[in-house]
Structure 1
Amino acid sequence: MVAESQDSARLTSAILVNALVRRTNAAGGFATIIVKGDETSGVILVQVLEKGKETGLFERVSNFAGGYALMRCGPSLEDGPEALATYVARRRRSDPDLWIIELDIPEAERFAAETIC
């Protein structure tokens, strides 16, 4: 029997994103893929809403324990939607493999962290 390396056992970005979308929709929320990134290893940004109101932007990042966490990123909500749009456009220019997922479900940050981290 050949042991799998840690890298080969990781789930792809596409699998994680699709699981998040399906799980959110099954729980009565709304999830959509705004930007489709690299299937294997694209960075995942989660745009969080609750009842249609923007509550934050989070990035899936590796943590020091060998796992993943969601970290708030981008401008503050007080900076307005234009600042968020500018930030997302800049990130897309610098990383064309980036995924952007929109979630509208109560406690979306926790929900996303349970699914993709």
Structure 2
Amino acid sequence: MTSDDRLPAHLEVSGLLKLTQALGGFGMVLQKGERDAGTLVILTTNSGKNTRMWERMPQTDGSRYFVPTKEQDPENPGDFEEYVDRRKGQDPDCWFIELDGPDVERLIDPTAR
């Protein structure tokens, strides 16, 4: 899929939320972004543990994959929350969604099992 073939953001968000539910998890929109061209930032967690922030990053072959860009430190969870709040303020067109469940990372990371 090229960048021109990308799904509209609201459809991708809707699909990820439904897939999360199908896995027995829970997903929610933390911040709505631009309906069609907004970028996605995804927070994954499992009952508040192992929380990670994922963003699409360009690869050397021109593709774009979700990669973890920040992990919550269990000793200082407030630092992660502050970082996410600052990041939300940087781009109002960006969608922030949270996916909570034991297997949600596999929805965005093909190497996760």
Aligned position for 1:84: 80
Structure 1 gaps of 5+ residues are 1-5
Deviation at 1:77, TM superposition (A): 2.0
Q: Which has the higher helix share?
A: 1
Aligned position for 1:104: 100
C-alpha separation in 1, matches of 2:108 and 2:3: 22
C-alpha separation in 2, matches of 1:25 and 1:78: 26
Structure 2 gaps of 5+ residues are none
C-alpha separation in 2, matches of 1:98 and 1:85: 17
Aligned position for 1:25: 21
Q: Indicate conservation of the 8 Å contact 1:75/1:87, yes or no.
A: no
Worse-matched range after superposition: 56-65 or 20-29: 56-65
Change (3 A) 1:10 1:95: same
Identity %: 31
Q: Which amino acid letter does the alignment assign opposite residue 47 of structure 1?
A: L
Deviation at 1:10, TM superposition (A): 1.8
C-alpha separation in 1, matches of 2:76 and 2:39: 24
| Aligned-partner SS, 2:89 | helix
Count of aligned residue pairs for this structure pair: 109
C-alpha separation in 1, matches of 2:72 and 2:24: 27
* Max Rg structure: 1
Deviation at 1:99, TM superposition (A): 1.0
Q: After TM superposition, where is structure 1 displaced by more than 4 Å over at least 4 residues in a row? A: none
C-alpha separation in 1, matches of 2:22 and 2:53: 22
C-alpha separation in 1, matches of 2:82 and 2:23: 31
**Alignment RMSD:** 2.1
TM-score, normalization: structure 1? 0.77
